[in-house]
Structure formats: structure tokens, C-alpha cells
Amino acid sequence: MTWATQPPPGFKTVDDVAKGTRLVLIRHGEAECNARGLIGGPLGCSGLTDLGRAQAGALAERLVRTRDFDDVTALYTSVLPRAIQTAELLAPGLPAGLTAVADCDLCELHPGEADGLTWQEFVDRFGVPDWANDPSVPLAPDGESWTGFYERCTNAFERLVATHPGERVVLVVHGGVVEQAMKSVLDVQPGDRLRLMTRNCSMTEIEYDGDSVRLLRYNDVAPLPAA
């Protein structure tokens, strides 16, 4: 074999052939709890803002036009209203007949007793966990730690990859869930904080092929129509 037209192994950076399971993680649109500064667990989340609905609509219009996701075989959301509503708005751009499966393992970090509080109320009542030194500390009583959040999300990804071998699956989730998924791409420690700026209704796509994990896209967002 010669390398006149192809680089040798280890140098090629583009491969259009999918070999494993592709998880497309879509962050929900702007939520009321985000806009109001509330901690949005099951109590604090009341769904999307008008802007959040517009963001989801813009992405749906893009997917209707491009039909990028016509090969998607399954759709999952977290159990929180902002994710469920986003998935409903994206339906026109996904294959007909997909039924969204709500899965609590895809939720944002479980806030426990901090749920529904403003961030100032949270700080006044519980203080700020020192995750830089101990990421196993819960956010609040009955809440989740940063490493516990990582373990939950990682187990969920592994389960979905095993359930859908070689398929493309859409997950409508949260910024924190995207961050946990990105750790497998970047090969960092479970307790690390990546401090990503994952935008609302952006798409992150990761391919899982045995021990190989490959990032296909991150923060891919459809622009809102001009006013």
C-alpha cells in the first residue's frame, strides 16, 4: 500500500463511516428556572421560557430542512419539564413515530433540599460545596455530589450504548450532563470541573465504539431567525 492519496494510520482526522453508537446530546432551551435564578430540580423547573421555545423551534427548523437525524432510532429525555418540552418541539425534525422515553438518570445534578431555592437562598442555607478539594460532598442534604453525578451519567451512557449498538440516539438533557459526557472524550478525572459554556439547544455528538470514544461535534447550535 502507498500513501499517495491517504495519510498513514494515526494521521487521518476525518472518517465519515460510523462504527459505533452515536449519542447526540441536545441541551434544553432556556428555562424559566434559569431566567429566574432558581435551582431547577423537580420542584424548581417549570419548563421553557419564550426564548427557550424559540431556540428549540430554530433547531427543529434546521433539522426539518437538513434531515440530519433521519437515521435516529431512539429519543430519550430527562424527567424535567424543560427537557421534555424541548424534545416535543424538536419532534418535526426527527423521524416520525419516535416516542420520547423520560429517564431520570439523564437529569441535571440532583439538588436535594436545594431544589427550588434561589442561588442566594442556597448559599445562605447550605454554603458552597468545596468540590475542588472534595467532589464527593453533596450539593445539599439529600442531594448529589459532583462525582456521584458523574457516575450516574456515565452508567446511563454505557447502558444506552449497550441497548442501541451501532445506532444513533438523541438525548435531550442538561448542560451538566453534557459536561459529564465530555469527560470521556477528554480523558479527565471524574471529579474535574470542565467549566464548559454549552449553549441552549446546542448539539454534542459522541461516538462510542468499544474502548474508543470520539467527539463528532460540540456546541453545534442553530441560529435564531433574524428579528
Active site residues: 28, 108
- Does residue 177 contact residue 165 with C-beta atoms inside 8 Å? no
Dihedral Cα 126, 127, 132, 135, nearest 10 deg: 0
In 3D, which of 114, 184, 173 has the Cα closest to residue 150?
A: 184
Other residues' Cβ atoms within 10 Å of the Cβ of residue 160: 21
Q: Tell me how far apart the alpha carbons of residues 29 and 172 are, in angstroms, rounded to a whole number.
A: 10
Which run of H or of E encompasses 101? strand 100-102
62 vs 59, 67, 68, 202, CA distance in Å? 5, 8, 9, 12
| Adjacent-strand bridge partners of 220 | 203
Dihedral Cα 112, 178, 45, 147, nearest 10 deg: 0
| Adjacent-strand bridge partners of 185 | none
